[in-house]
Amino acid sequence: MGDRIEFQQGRWIVPDRPIIPFIEGDGTGPDIWRAARRVFDAVVEKVSKGRRRVEWLEVLAGEKAFKATNSWLPEATLDAIRAHRVAIKGPLTTPVGGGIRSLNVALRQLLDLYACIRPVRYFEGVPSPMKQPGKLNVVIFRENIEDVYSGVEYQAGSEQADAVIRFLAERYGAKIRSGSAIGIKPMSKFGTQRLVAKAIQYAIQARCPSVTLVHKGNIMKFTEGGFREWGYEVARQRFGDQTVPEAELGPGKGNGGRVVIKDRITDAMFAQLVLRPDEYSVIAAPNLNGDLLSDAAAAQVGGLGLAPGGNVGDGYAVYEATHGTAPKYAGQDKVNPCSVILSGAMMFEELGWTDVAAAIIRGIEGAIASKRVTYDLARQLPGATEVSTSQFAECIIEHVR
């Protein structure tokens, strides 16, 4: 029997036997979850010498839930995740047809998971299109709730779109072509500052050199420009002793051990990540910029197959593989389990089990270096031996020293 994880005064309180709900996912989800759970249990046991153990609690979503309960997302699943605060999930099929709530949207709203966190780093040996992929090592904090993804959008020719166009024209003289579709881009100081504060807190704790605010404030002055201004403001007001704006770093002046806060225009940032990746560490971005940057950065280090992710709020977090269900390989014990395993490493790090997180990463580094890898990596790595999902998991465990 395990105990619940609690969150008090901004801190996780994690028992030695925490109960953590999991959704195994559809398609290849059960294959990769089985492998991931095997790795998590073995590493926790090894690192803590048997003192700690996760009590996994299965909760249903997706096809498995639909078969058992006739609902793609039973209320009981949402209740369990809310009660236990931290959960991990495999990929889910997006059912075709209307009226189905997406789990991610439901959880984001229910638990206010306002930061989507995506670490992007290179694992030695993974095929990459870049000459020096190891130079990229960033953690992207993407705002998860506001911006053009807030869902306030009206179809071209709809009553709502036409009413908004008319209102803006009559009241403010705005010129919008009639019959246009309309999307609203709300960005608040509150939403920006809690996201940027989370990124800065992470940078301070993990001893990262900088936090870069990525925005298109040269064009969208009040929304994206607001993101920049409010970001610098929260750095100054809440972390004044531990941060310094890049503009205040004169020639020959060091940063005095403080986290440097910089900002870059979105388009320039894409170029920078290709040309000078080692100048960036933690990145804080509004929703759309962050979405685009996350996948572009992941591609530089060898693709989405290895990319983990977490949706995090205050006292709640849900971690997930960032790829889909790869249905054609379902049940074949074939696909790469690294994305969900690395998401687990992020989860353990957030919960303060940093020794477990570090050991998982050592295991993955070792397994990839040994060139006994799943098909997706094996077909691109000269001299590699293809192994199954479960054999790859054993190989990861062997390399946890």
Where on the chain is the footprint of ligand NAD (CB under 6 A)? 32, 91-94, 305, 320, 323-327, 329, 335-336, 339, 376
CB 88 within 8 A of CB 344: yes
To the nearest whole angstrom, how small is the minimum distance from the Cβ of residue 12 to ligand NAD?
Answer: 24
Please tell me which residue in 149, 154, 202, 319 is annotated as part of the active site: 149
Q: Of the listed 31, 291, 333, 376, which one is catalytic?
A: 291
- Taking the least distance from each CB to ligand NAD, the nearer of 72 and 227 is 72
Min dist. Cβ of residue 225 to ligand NAD (A): 32
Active site residue 149: yes
Characterize the bridge pairing of strands 6-8 and 11-13. Answer: antiparallel
Contact indicator for 252, 266 with CB cutoff of 8 Å: no
> Considering 16, 267, 278, 328, which one is annotated as catalytic?
267
Cβ-based nearer residue to ligand NAD, 32 or 165: 32
By beta-carbon proximity to ligand NAD, the closer residue of 323 and 399 is 323
263 catalytic, yes or no? Answer: no
Query: Among residues 35 and 357, whose Cβ is nearest to ligand NAD?
Result: 35
- CB atoms near residue 324 (< 10 Å): 16
Minimum distance, C-beta of residue 369 to ligand NAD, in the bound complex (Å):
19
**Crossing angle of the two packed helices 29-48 and 354-369, in degrees rounded to 10:** 120
User: Is 232 labeled as catalytic in the residue annotation?
Assistant: no
In the complex, least distance from residue 335 CB atom to ligand NAD, rounded to whole angstroms: 3
Between 2 and 324, CB nearer to ligand NAD? 324
Nearest distance in Å: CB 385, ligand NAD: 16
Position closest to ligand NAD via CB: 324
Q: Which residue in 64, 89, 198, 216 is the catalytic one?
A: 216
As annotated, the active-site residues are 149, 216, 267, 291
